[in-house]
């Protein structure tokens, strides 16, 4: 039976002392593999939480470079790093935070076949991307291989979070968000409040940790919505679309 060594116990004791977590939770984290796509506003905050908590390994993916307009919400990066790849710089920072965690950075956009391979090799996928095309590609791959997907978004003063386990009769991302949105909003055009991104990133990281340690959740599948103006949360039950082209069909191309 695996046990936690003394140095790790000291490092993680604040979470190990939680009765719902304990040493068994820490051991599960250390054996887990996470795939995080997107190292911007959400990803640059989610990854330090997971690496700090002691996940076994994490693959981070982003082909984008750091821009000065990112720094009001992506504060793990520095002015001196402007123009450098986000995944590469995030990996460097994560290695300094916890060198016991294996971090692999991918600095290019994956093909569908490459994405499928990465999805197969992980326990949880965290979608921190900011465009619908990529989000739908991730959803299709996760559904095909039945890998849990934790998806969040933030724009303006609003944020949303949903977890997809792809169990029978459960909804997928496509059930909620159609692929034919004509003018999807973006942070560059609609703006975003930095702390709203932080709230959603924290919730995303928390959802990931709970899933990795198998914390029971008997509530219906839901979409959590946050309003930063009113500081309110709303939980909406979501149901499967019987005509969804992804989860309502037996064959999925990913």
Is 208 part of the annotated catalytic residue set? Answer: no
What is the spatial distance between Cα 61 and Cα 33, in angstroms, rounded to a whole number?
A: 14
* Nearest Cα to Cα of residue 223 among 169, 173, 157: 173
Count other C-beta atoms under 10 Å from residue 210's C-beta.
Answer: 17
In order of 44, 52, 60, 154, 197, the CA distances from 128 in angstroms are 9, 18, 10, 10, 11
The vertex-179 CA angle with 195 and 200, nearest 5°, equals 15
Which DSSP state fits 156?
B
SS3 96: helix
Count other C-beta atoms under 10 Å from residue 62's C-beta.
Answer: 26
What is the spatial distance between Cα 160 and Cα 94, in angstroms, rounded to a whole number?
A: 26
Contacts of 30 (CB under 8 A, 6+ apart): 8, 54, 55, 56
Question: One of 187, 208, 244, 247 is an active-site residue; which one?
Answer: 187
Catalytic positions, please? Answer: 187
């Amino acid at each position: 039976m695996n046990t936690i060594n003394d140095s790790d116990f000291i490092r993680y004791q604040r979470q190990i002392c939680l009765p719902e977590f304990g040493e068994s939770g820490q051991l599960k984290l250390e054996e887990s593999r996470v795939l995080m796509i997107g190292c911007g506003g959400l990803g640059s905050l989610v990854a330090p939480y997971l690496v700090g908590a002691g996940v076994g390994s994490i693959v981070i993916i982003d082909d984008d470079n750091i821009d000065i307009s990112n720094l009001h919400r992506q504060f793990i990066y520095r002015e001196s790093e402007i123009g450098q790849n986000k995944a590469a710089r995030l990996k460097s920072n994560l290695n300094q935070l916890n060198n016991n965690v294996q971090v692999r950075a991918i600095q290019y956009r994956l093909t569908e076949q490459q994405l499928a391979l990465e999805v197969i090799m992980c326990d949880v996928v965290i979608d921190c991307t900011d465009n619908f095309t990529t989000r739908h590609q991730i959803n299709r791959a996760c559904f095909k291989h039945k890998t849990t997907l934790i998806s969040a978004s933030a724009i303006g003063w609003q944020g949303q979070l949903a977890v997809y386990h792809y169990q029978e009769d459960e909804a997928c991302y496509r059930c909620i968000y159609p692929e034919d949105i004509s003018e999807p909003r973006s942070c560059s055009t609609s703006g975003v409040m930095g702390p709203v991104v932080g709230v959603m990133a924290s919730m995303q990281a928390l959802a990931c940790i709970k899933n990795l340690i198998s914390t029971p959740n008997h509530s219906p599948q839901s979409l959590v919505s946050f309003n930063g103006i009113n500081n309110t949360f709303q939980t909406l039950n979501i149901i499967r679309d019987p005509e969804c082209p992804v989860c309502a069909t037996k064959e999925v191309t990913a």
